[in-house]
Structure formats: C-alpha cells, structure tokens
Structure 1
Amino acid sequence: MKNIIVTGASRGIGFELVKQLADAGHKVLALSRNDKPVNELNHPNINCFSFDICDPEDIAKLKDFIDQQWKQVDILINNAGRLLYKAFDQISPAEFEEVYRVNVFGVAELTRQLLPYIPQSGHVVNISSMGGVQGSVKFAGLAAYSSSKGALITLTELLAEEYKETGPAFNVLALGAVQTEMLEGAFPDYKAPLSAEEMANYIFDFALNGNKYYNGKLLQVSNSTP
C-alpha cells in the first residue's frame, strides 16, 4: 500500500486515476481547486481538500497534512495543468505567465517542497503533452500550453540527473489525445481514441512500477495526432 498524491484530481484523467488507485487499496491525497467531485466519492482511502498549486499557503497546508497523517509520500503525480487555446498575438503577458505558473513553476515548487517526504524508492511522475515534445506535430493556438509542457519535460530530465544518487526517480509522460474536457476545449470536433479511464489505467501501472525501469525518461503515450 502506497501513499500517493495526485494533482488535478477533479475531472478527466486525474479523477479516474484517483478512483483506480484508491480502489486498489492505496492511500490517495487528491488535490484540485474544486474538491467537490472527489469528496462526493466518499471513499475511505481518499483524502481531499481544495488546493491551488500556485498558492504557498495551500502548499503549507499540504505539508501539515503529511506531517500529521502520512509522514511519507511514496508517489507524486503532477497531473494538474492549465490549457490556453488562443492565437499567439492575442495572448496577454499575464495569460502566458499564468499557464507557466501552473504547468511549470507550480509543479517545480510543489515538488521541491515535497522532496523531503519522498524516499529513495519513491517516484515523481510528471504529466506532459505530445505538444511539448521536440519534433512532434504542433498546433496553432497552443503556443503557451505546448511550450510550457516542453519546459516540464526538460525540468523532469534535470531533476532525475540531480537526484540520481539519492532518489527519488523522476519520469515524464507525454500524453497524446485523450477524450477529456481539456481536449474538447482545444479540439471540440475531434474524438480521441482513448478515454480518460483508459489513460488513467496506464498511468496507474506506470506510477507504481515505472521507476523500476526508468529514470529521467520521456515516454510518449500516444497513438494518434493530435
């Protein structure tokens, strides 16, 4: 049984992942700004509270929970993300920065604050996008989102190198199209080949076992474009 934190847990892949991990007997802390969907599950293995990845007070509240309830975090899944679908010349500096605050700066600070609780055998899984992979097909309107996901990939590789002697392991999954509300926001007429539940099942297995085989690796989890 593992202690697992999942961010971006209120819908889509994160919500399905929380359910699967809890049903398998793991202790899950589900974090998202909207905590209502997870709280309504009323699952004995799930703890949940409203959480903004960019808010230092919320990070302090999270650390208090770990100190009092868990002591240790075995797996951190950084799934929270901000999508902005907008023409580049119409994006304000504040909008561009907000995407990076959630997708890069927030992930970095949350990870930094939680590292003392993660053992050498632990696993940090960052959820990126195929749009952030160098050489992949790119789409207009996603300049802020895809570039931030590219930064997350590089950050993951750097952290794996920095902590390769002491752990934990760091890996990043670049997801292709999954039928979620976020995908519909960018491609409303596109029907993805995978459901949120199916992708969550893949991440479930990788989070629990991927660090046995990989560290500092980018895995492209996609069978379609987008």
Structure 2
Amino acid sequence: MSNIFITGASSGIGFETAKALALRGHTVFAAARRLDKLEKLRDFQIVPVELDVTSTESIEKAVQTVQEQAGRIDVLINNAGFGFYGALEDVDIADARQQFDVNVFGLMELTKVVLPIMRTQGSGRIINTSSMGGRMVAYFGGWYHASKYAVEALSDALRMETAGHNIDVVLIEPGAIKTPWGAIAADNLEKASGAGAYAKEAKRASASMRKMYEGSMISDPAVVVKAMVQAVEAKRPKARYLIGFGAKPLVFAHAVLPNKLFDAIMRRAV
C-alpha cells in the first residue's frame, strides 16, 4: 500500500478519488485550501491537510506535514485546478494569471518540493490531472486550455527527466465529467464576456455548457476515479489516461481534421 498526497480534494473528482484510494487500503493525505471542506473525509481515515497551491509557504508546510506523519510520499496527485472561460480579449490578465498560478505554477512548485523526497526514497509516482482540453481547444476556453496544454508539456518533460530516478509521471485526461466544474466555467464566461463584442456568442456558449453539464450524457466522476486508481496501482502505468465523455473522439477529430473545419465544429457545438 502507498502513502498518497492528493490536492484539490475538497469536492468532485479529488474528493471521490481520496475516498476510493483510502477504501483500497492506501494511506491518503487530502489537501485543499479550506480544512472544513475535508472534514467528511476523516470518516475514511483520510488525513486532511491545509494547502494553498499558490503559496510557497503553504506548499512547504503541507509537504512537511505529510512527510513527518507518513515518513515518505509514494504518490503525488496534482488534482487542484479550475476553468476560467471567456474571450481572450475580455479576460482580465489578473484572472489569466490566477488560472496559471493554480493550474500550472502551483502544480509545478508542489512537484519541485516533493521530487527530492521521491529521489531519496528511490521511487515515486506523480499523477497530474490534465484534460482532453490539454490536446484540443473549446470555444471561449483559451486561457483554461493554455494552462492544460502547459500541464501536458511539463508532464512530458518531467517524465523524461525523472525516468532514470524510478519516478513515474502520469497524465489523467478527462472529457466532460459531471462535476461543478461546468457551472463554474459558465459563470466565469458570463462574467468575462457577458457584455461587449462577444456577448451574444458567450451567452449562447454559457447556456450550452450549463445544459450539457446538467444532462445525463456526460460521464460520472467514477470513470476518472477508476483511472486514478489504475494510475496509482499499476506496476507500469500508462503515460496518459484519456477517459470520459467526448475525450477520445474529440481528440481524434482534432488530430485528423483540417483546423478550420474543427474550429467550425466547436463553434457550432454551442
């Protein structure tokens, strides 16, 4: 069994993944900014850890807490993240920086603190929650997708760099999953582009996102939890787990269709 440190565990995929791993006998440290959001996880013998991935001090304190209590960190699951949607022209640069601070720089700063521990142990596994959105772009999702493209590139680089140190690097790439993510992204889209040059298209796209994420076709979080468990427990994990509603067909379409045709399909989808 492994000692696992997972971020973004206060709700959704992170919360369910922490539970599933604990029920399978792993020792789980679940992190989020608000400890009160993690209290229910104590029922599963999960240890809550306060963590703000945008704070160097918070990162160092959280890793020290886990290391002192567990003695080692076998698996780091970088799951914290959010989606800020809006036309690139409309999104405030401060909001764009926040998107990268959480999804990219926070992920890498935490990874940089954990890597020396794993090297000293002689083994480790880093699992980064990306998205099918790290391999194709949806309408009005420019900053979010840019952050996930960055996660993909950094993970590929890290996988090569750590291969000689017995450290695995894995990407989880979900499609559309039934979590609060869709409503939050739609809210951000309306906030950024609900008025102005892109208002008509943004309102239509926002309504379409809400409808899709409230519908029954998109995947249950269980499909992502299953992939997370596989990535943790596999002797030789895949480099990528592309799973969930729309993930494989959309990524394939993006790879084979002419760019302008794919753009038109994405714009008409909303």
Determine helix, strand or coil for the equivalent of 1:41.
Answer: helix
AA aligned opposite 1:175: P
1:220 maps to 242
> What is the deviation of 1:99?
0.5
Change (3 A) 1:154 1:21: same
Q: Which moved more, 1:150-159 or 1:82-91?
A: 82-91
The Cα offsets for residues 65-93 of structure 1, whole Å up to 9 and x where unpaired, read as 13421121011111110210212111111
- 1:198 and 2:223 matched: yes
> What is the deviation of 1:213?
4.1
2:232 maps to 207
The Cα offsets for residues 129-170 of structure 1, whole Å up to 9 and x where unpaired, read as 11111xx3x222211111110110010010111111113111
Determine helix, strand or coil for the equivalent of 2:76.
Answer: strand
1:125 maps to 127
Contact 1:4–1:74 (Cα < 8 Å) also in 2 = yes
Change (3 A) 1:197 1:34: farther
Determine helix, strand or coil for the equivalent of 2:72.
Answer: coil
> What is the deviation of 1:34?
2.4
AA aligned opposite 1:112: K
Contact 1:26–1:45 (Cα < 8 Å) also in 2 = no
Contact 2:99–2:143 (Cα < 8 Å) also in 1 = yes
> What is the deviation of 1:44?
5.3
Contact 1:84–1:99 (Cα < 8 Å) also in 2 = yes
Change (3 A) 1:44 1:174: closer
1:156 maps to 155
> What is the deviation of 1:222?
3.4
AA aligned opposite 2:79: N
Pairing of 1:33-182 with structure 2 (within 5 A): 33-43=33-43, 45-118=45-118, 119-133=121-135, 136=136, 138-182=137-181
Instruction: Tell me how far apart the structure 2 counterparts of residues 117 and 43 of structure 1 sit (CA, whole Å).
Output: 28
> What is the deviation of 1:185?
2.9
What is the count of residue pairs matched by the alignment? 220
> What is the deviation of 1:36?
1.9
Structure 2, unaligned runs of 5 or more: 186-208, 251-270
TM-score of the superposed pair, with normalisation by structure 2: 0.76
Change (3 A) 1:35 1:195: farther
Determine helix, strand or coil for the equivalent of 2:29.
Answer: strand
Contact 1:153–1:218 (Cα < 8 Å) also in 2 = no
Instruction: Tell me how far apart the structure 2 counterparts of residues 41 and 81 of structure 1 sit (CA, whole Å).
Output: 20
The Cα offsets for residues 36-70 of structure 1, whole Å up to 9 and x where unpaired, read as 23212323531113210111111121132134211
Determine helix, strand or coil for the equivalent of 1:28.
Answer: strand
Which has the greater radius of gyration?
2
Instruction: Tell me how far apart the structure 1 counterparts of residues 13 and 67 of structure 2 sit (CA, whole Å).
Output: 28
> What is the deviation of 1:219?
3.2
Change (3 A) 1:202 1:219: closer
Instruction: Tell me how far apart the structure 1 counterparts of residues 36 and 12 of structure 2 sit (CA, whole Å).
Output: 14
Instruction: Tell me how far apart the structure 1 counterparts of residues 48 and 237 of structure 2 sit (CA, whole Å).
Output: 31
The structure whose RCO (Cα within 8 Å, separation 6+) is larger is 1
> What is the deviation of 1:203?
1.2
Q: Which has the higher helix share?
A: 2
TM-score of the superposed pair, with normalisation by structure 1: 0.90
- 1:23 and 2:23 matched: yes
Structure 1, unaligned runs of 5 or more: none
